[in-house]
A and B are shown apart, each in its own frame.
Chain A
Amino acid sequence: MDRFLVQRLGFALLLFVALVVVVPILFVLGVIVVEGSMAITWEFLSAMPSDGMKGGGIFPTIVGTFLLMLGTAMASIPVGVGGAIYLAEYARDTWLTRAIRLAIVNLAGIPSVVYGLFGLGLFVLFLQFGTSILAGALTLAIMTIPIIISTTEEALRAVPTEFRTIIASLGGTRWQGIRGVVLPQALPGIITGIILGLLRAAGETAPILFTVAAFYLPRLPHSPFDPTMALPYHLYVISTQVPGMPLRIQHGTALVLLTLVLSMNVTATVIRSYFRRRRQW
């Protein structure tokens, strides 16, 4: 057969495969947006669930997810950014540094449900936080840290070395160089990384299964030691554990979760491309 005909068939096949990858994504988004938007009303977003979750709204799950995000951010940002500063600005190439990198790769690869087990063992039981926002947020934070470290380190390394040399030549200490020039210049990249890390945590269910999540708790939490409902866990519960659940509510919940996560995704992308165009190096 003519080899150029083969090539044309081959290219057509590749195009077909790319469509096989992309079309289902569009389909998932389309279905959830179309079906879900029918459920979205002000009441759905702002009311407590009622009638065994078959009526009312999903307000406490939204609040719960935001509180978890807040706790996760507070715990993971300092550790993640600090760890990245160490790796990018201080660490020399020693076996210890390689061990840190290995630890990061492995933290990033630990299954989310194993994080759940760990959170149960350490925070809920050993430290006696109980199933609480605190225990869940700390579990999610440890899961988020490797993501924040990798993205932040990349952002720090992208800042030209010359800036550090100039600051040193002007009598600045290393920390002055980091705080005065490197961190501000890397900030957009760091923020992007933090958002990407947090959005992973926002959508996770397995780590909060045994650490925070309340099956049905139609009130807002009072303290960090309270359990709470959360969006992803709620979606799991209403789509598998509650017989006769109206499909409309399931789709609505899925849409709210998807909107939250994807809007964070878009924000991160916009920040990244906006500052990449504006920076002076």
Chain B
Amino acid sequence: MDKGVIVTNRGGISGRRWTEVPIEATIRVLGFSTIGFVLLIFLFLLREGLPIFYEVPTGNLFGTRWYPTFELFGTLPLLLGSILVTVTAILIALPLGVATAVFVRELAPDWVREILKPMIEVLAGIPSVVLGFFGMHFVAPLIRNIFGAPTGLTVFTGALILAYMALPTIISVAEDALDTVPKSYRDAGLAMGATQWQTIWKVVVPAARSGILMAVMLGMGRAIGETMAVMMVTGNAARLPLTFDSLFRPARTMTATIAAEMGEVAQGSTHYHALFGIGIILFVLTFLINLTAASAIFRKQRRGGLR
């Protein structure tokens, strides 16, 4: 008797017409192209940025003073500037975002939700340069009058604008996280005699903890890479933000430095290489942040079963 073939199936529809071969090959190439883009971006950052590491001694690169005209390329003030602005922004945005997500998910009647959600989408759509413009003309004077900061262009002003820019991300990811908390948790909380308020904060929000953490990561990724608004409202002074009043003094971020100075440097100069070097730092930082957030997403998907 014919023993037959063993077919181990790897999925997919077999059979194609010859006209489809080039189409499917193109689609395959396009599918892989994103990997190519990431590599290409990294490659060009390295190509233009690596020379800085042998043009300038390492001590200088991680020094505390950024004065390119005097060959001083200390990135520390820029790095700390970015971190201070980002962390402050997240500290503002996190409670606002989580509370809004809780409000939208758990409390708001449908018609309120129908108004709130599009508003938050609109916020996500406002170009950063428009928010920066608004910050310069309306927020900065406010900060000047309330806190007495000379120009009102301070770390806090930038963080405030950034916080609103990160809010749509934080709210939507936090909402998804709250959404995945099973209804039975809520019922259990209420059945034990807890009020809805207690249930929300003692049961629902803690259960959504990992999702909220992811929201923070993604919000941070968004904030640390933000350029225009930050450049327009933080005052752009490359000083070490180490004193207590740093929040209400100007600072300069890595992104703003690149944006402000790249237009004026000669191609191939040390300064040019230094700016690409900052680009490498930013690339690696956001890569790590998004990798962390993504691994959480992938984990969640695998638990989810299908796909």
Mark A residues whose CB is within 8 Å of B: 3-4, 6-7, 10-11, 13-15, 17-18, 20-22, 24-26, 28-29, 31-32, 78-79, 82-83, 85-87, 90-92, 96, 98-118, 120-122, 125-126, 142, 145-146, 149, 157, 164, 168, 173-177, 199, 202-206, 209-210, 232-233, 235-236, 239-240, 247, 250, 254, 257-258, 261-262, 265, 269
Contact = CB atoms under 8 A, between A and B. Distances in A.
Contacts of A203: 125-130
A144 B40 CA distance: 16
B275 A109 contact: no
B242 interface: no
Contacts of B120: 21-22, 25
Contact of B125 (A106, A254, A262): A262
B24 A254 contact: no
A174 B28 CA distance: 14
B56 interface: no
Interface of A is mostly: helix
B263 A210 contact: yes
B13 A235 contact: no
B32 A100 contact: yes
Interface residues of B toward A: which range?
A: 35 or more
Contact of A206 (B10, B24, B34, B228): B228
B172 interface: no
B127 A261 contact: yes
Instruction: Describe B's contact surface by its main secondary structure.
Output: helix
A109 B100 CA distance: 24
Contact of B134 (A31, A146, A157, A269): A31
A113 B259 contact: yes
Given A6-B197, A121-B44, A209 B263 contact: yes
Contact of B276 (A28, A121, A206): A121
Given A113-B258, A121-B48, A261-B126, A78 B30 contact: yes
B34 A107 contact: yes
Nearest first, the 7 A-B pairs at minimum CB distance are A86-B31, A111-B225, A203-B127, A82-B30, A7-B197, A109-B290, A121-B44
A146 B27 contact: no
B123 A174 contact: no
B100 A17 contact: yes
Contacts of B279: 113-114, 117-118
B133 A83 contact: no
Given A17-B95, A82-B31, A116-B262, 7 more contacts: A25-B123, A32-B130, A105-B293, A108-B290, A117-B45, A177-B13, A203-B127
